[in-house]
């Protein structure tokens, strides 16, 4: 079974991306233009594996077509370039709403009673085989590759996190020996963010990353891909750990039409 899957995946990796899918990537995912030709070719194969193995479902009346599937798959697979990956092994289904949606979740009140509170969501990721995305926010996140916000990068970082048994914010690293440095650096940066917020200091990293360790990893993943030069300048050890994990160095990618601007000092 596993041998057959490996063979099938290899066949998909070697196939050319259908022209209509490539046109969608080029139109909807400007980050694609920052990749070198080898990375682009690798991404083509990963997209085809992703679309072969994952199921999409429309919610709130949204009809799923290639435009939605390919746009999401292309961004999700950016996080897998150059890595020996199981293609988001815990994920089976991607649910897509047309817009931001309201998620009703139980909270425990001070008196011990439980109540449901509605929260507006752009996306959610679970370790039970599914995730949710807002199509509007997928598009807006993809369109600006400099703002440090990309809901697909964020939610699929959570999926990478789910693949590990090391606890929130500690995805599966290539070697066990890497966890010591990972915990030291990310733990220090997370604590520093909490301290900056407590003392009302301006932060480069999005303050949502202070929610918990899992959200911190998802937030810094967005920043690593969309503000790499600034992240490397301001948080060099954090950048180094992410570079080792993702096996990519986006700060050094040649600047193409979609490349990051050169002012590293701007937040």
Task: Give domain status of residue 258, yes or no.
Answer: no
Question: How many Cβ atoms sit within 10 Å of the Cβ of residue 256?
Answer: 12
The number of domains in the chain is: 1
Tell me which residue has tokens 């994952």.
54
Say how far apart CA 27 and CA 143 lie, in whole Å: 9
Task: Give domain status of residue 121, yes or no.
Answer: yes
What is the structure's pLDDT at 118? 52
Mean pLDDT of 172-176: 92
Task: Give domain status of residue 79, yes or no.
Answer: yes
Read off the pLDDT band of 267 (50, 70, 90).
very low
Task: Give domain status of residue 53, yes or no.
Answer: yes
The pairing of beta strand 93-97 with beta strand 130-134: parallel
| Ramachandran bin of 120, using left for φ above 0, alpha for ψ from -120 to 50, beta for the remaining angles | beta
- Considering the entire predicted model, what is its pTM? 0.86
Which residues form the domain of 8?
Answer: 2-252
Mean pLDDT of 233-260: 84
Task: Give domain status of residue 75, yes or no.
Answer: yes
Q: What CATH number does the domain containing 202 carry?
A: 3.40.390.10
Task: Give domain status of residue 259, yes or no.
Answer: no
Question: How many Cβ atoms sit within 10 Å of the Cβ of residue 177?
Answer: 8
Smallest CA-to-CA distance from 80 within 70, 88, 91 is with: 88
What is residue 127's three-state secondary structure?
Answer: coil
> Using alpha carbons only, what angle is made at residue 244 by residues 238 and 250, rounded to the nearest 5 degrees?
75
Read off the pLDDT band of 264 (50, 70, 90).
very low
Measured in residues, the chain has a length of 267
Mean pLDDT of 224-249: 97
Task: Give domain status of residue 262, yes or no.
Answer: no
Say how far apart CA 162 and CA 170 lie, in whole Å: 9
Tell me which residue has tokens 């939605």.
68
What is the structure's pLDDT at 165? 85
Say how far apart CA 3 and CA 69 lie, in whole Å: 27
Question: How many Cβ atoms sit within 10 Å of the Cβ of residue 85?
Answer: 17
What is residue 149's three-state secondary structure?
Answer: coil
Task: Give domain status of residue 260, yes or no.
Answer: no
């Amino acid at each position: 079974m596993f041998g057959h899957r490996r063979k099938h995946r290899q066949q998909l990796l070697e196939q050319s991306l259908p022209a209509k899918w490539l046109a969608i990537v080029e139109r909807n995912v400007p980050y694609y233009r920052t990749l070198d030709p080898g990375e682009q070719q690798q991404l083509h194969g990963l997209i085809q594996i992703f679309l072969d193995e994952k199921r999409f479902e429309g919610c709130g009346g949204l009809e799923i077509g290639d435009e939605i599937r390919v746009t999401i798959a292309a961004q999700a697979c950016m996080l897998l370039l150059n890595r020996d990956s199981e293609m988001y092994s815990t994920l089976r289904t991607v649910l897509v709403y047309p817009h931001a949606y309201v998620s009703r979740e139980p909270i425990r009140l001070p008196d011990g009673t439980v109540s449901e509170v509605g929260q507006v969501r752009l996306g959610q990721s679970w370790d039970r085989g599914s995730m949710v995305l807002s199509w509007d926010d997928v598009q807006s996140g993809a369109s600006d590759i400099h703002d440090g916000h990309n809901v697909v990068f964020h939610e699929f970082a959570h999926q990478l996190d789910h693949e590990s048994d090391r606890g929130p914010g500690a995805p599966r690293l290539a070697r066990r020996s890497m966890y010591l440095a990972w915990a030291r650096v990310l733990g220090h940066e997370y604590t520093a963010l909490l301290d900056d917020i407590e003392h009302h200091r301006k932060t480069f990293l999005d303050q949502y990353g202070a929610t918990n360790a899992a959200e911190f990893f998802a937030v810094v993943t967005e920043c690593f891909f969309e503000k790499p030069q600034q992240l490397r300048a301001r948080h060099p050890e954090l950048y180094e750990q992410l570079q080792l994990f993702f096996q990519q160095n986006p700060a050094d990618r040649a600047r193409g039409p979609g490349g990051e601007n050169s002012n590293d000092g701007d937040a």
